[in-house]
Structure 1
Amino acid sequence: MADVARQAGVSKKTVSNVLSGYPYIRDSTRERVLAAVDALGYEINVQARILRSGRSGVIALAVPELGQPYFGELADEVLAAARRQGLQVLIEPTGFTREGELEALRVPRGRLVDGLVFSPATLEQADAHLLEGLDYPLVLLGEQIFSDRVDHVTMHNVEGARAATDLLLDAGRRHIAALGMLHAPTAGSATLRFTGYREALEARGLEVDARLLGWADAGWHRSNGARAMAAVLDSGVEVDGVVAFNDALAIGAMHELQVRGLAIPRDVGVVGFDDIEDARFSVPTLTTIDPGRREIAEVAVDLMRRRLDTGAEQGPPVLHVADLRLIERESTPPR
């Protein structure tokens, strides 16, 4: 710590405050200290910190998987937000399994972490009681479970899917496929995004055509988007638009459409959801919904920081819904 202080031109106390997440530090000072930490390869002795203060300065992030681009990019955002707050992050993929998610809730990593940011995919509303009575701060992400006992950061799923569908309807498309349907009884985001899709159709006097629903029970990956698109096309139904429940499905669907000789967006307009980096580099570039991933990460870490500073029981739980944006690119007809 003394070496870091000399490198940054500050006191050891200032270094300690930065690494402990003390909020009243100038941004320029914090950046100098963190740059010195990087340059010198300084690593905090977590065990010593726990013995001294009872806190490790480490939080856990539990997500279904990192191979799905949304969760990988969310993890990057959480890491960056935590770093700005003087926290380190232990990332724990739960493998889209109930066992993995229950394990993440069990005092993460034997008390080496101070709190948990948790994005469940398999736990259901009936499991909400598992989130109560924990003796560490918990910030919940996503739409799988809602509880008024813990801080929760989520997104506008219904509104986002409706905006995506409306964009195609406004362009005169009337045979719009929805890709990402799940047979699971509590499908979280899939159910909410289908609701937005259905509401947009019904508002124009259109009914949902079951032949236009593409199922992706094996996961929201590119390959399953291609398979779901193929199944819809093979049914013989007319398709002039696609709303995919995430960008990976949309990119897979665009591949399948182009393999079959369909031009995007002339023949079929495509809209995704999540605004992952690949959406800006697909061919054509992908119109998508930005659900506020950076905001979700920053608010989640800020809520965690506040709970760590004031105590998990201080103040009522917060429900925060991130802003969304419709980002129009080349995969939809220009308005």
Structure 2
Amino acid sequence: MINGIKRYFGMLPIRFSSALIATIVVAILTGLQTYLLLSVKSDPESVANLDQAVYIFPILNNSVWLALSPLLFQLLLKANKVTDVVRRNAAYAVLGIAITLAHEILGLFIYNGGCYTAYVLDFAGQFQLDVKSGVLGLSKTFVEYWVISFLLIHFHSKKKLRKAKLRNVQLEAHLVKAQMSALKNQLHPHFLFNSFNTISALMEEDIPLAQRMIAKLGLLLRKILKDGDIQMITLEDEVDLAKLYLEVEQIRFKGRLVTRFAIDAKVKHVLVPTLLLQPAVENAVKHGFYNKIGECEIAIKAYENEESVIIEVQDNGEGKKNDAGFSFGIGLSNINQRLAASYGEGYELNVNSKSATSGFIVEIRISKKTLENENISSPS
């Protein structure tokens, strides 16, 4: 029984609790309006005898509408499926007449124990047969039908719109996840290819060193694979991954590679795509230090200003060899695409080089407004 009632009122486009509250509020307002109207037209002693008109009738009227609303809503949905405009409007009108009569009959049946005659309350508190009052009552109920129908369709449309928006957001989220997975999968072979090339070169020069590098690489791969399909990690964890990779490269450089890290505590919990820094660090090692003999330095910084969270990967390698326009390679293109998938237009990716000896600076700026709007942060 209870489950059946829940299912019945569950057909409404709004919660039953909201419909119940609306019913009570309208009943109170209607009763207050009637009381004020009768107070003007009658003496206080007569008004005291009209409790039924002030309290019982509004409650009864609105309670019957609440009871009929789920049925009315389902019938409205069926009428709305009629493609022809004239026939659809005719269906609404016929439905209105039927629901109006049902409302009046049900209300009178409840109050008068089955008497289906229209009554009016005189000022002495007595019920009398009144055809004029019955017609006016039906007219009032017919207007109420149209108001309630409009509200039901309105809330139904809003509910459909919310569902459509939610579905679109979910589809976009799945699409972004698929894009991020594809880009991440593109990155893994590139990273492994570079690492195994390094190990292969070391095997001919220093086998123990190559073995140490394999051990470090194993730790790095376990950490990467442990996260599985996780697309976003904290900046702090991302920097830790970069540190592990650079530890592997420090073995190859035999002490010539110096690393520096300056991560502001305020930004370490910002979420970034997994392995975001990897291509920038690999580019510095592979291209920036290709012909460099002296000390090689890579600095990773992260801080914030009023508008953005800023991440920098800077090296002291070769820098730009000429004034020709710089074009992104596979690694930096990967960074750009993953930033776009994660933050939309709320980011900037800049690559700068002041001279042929100053090295490159890969700068990522992520808008704070984007981080706040998308809730892209992790609890501190």
Q: Is the structural similarity TM-score above 0.5?
A: no
Higher relative CO (CA 8 A, sep ≥ 6), structure 1 or 2?
1
Q: TM-score, normalised by structure 1?
A: 0.25
Structure with greater helix percent: 2
Larger radius of gyration: 2
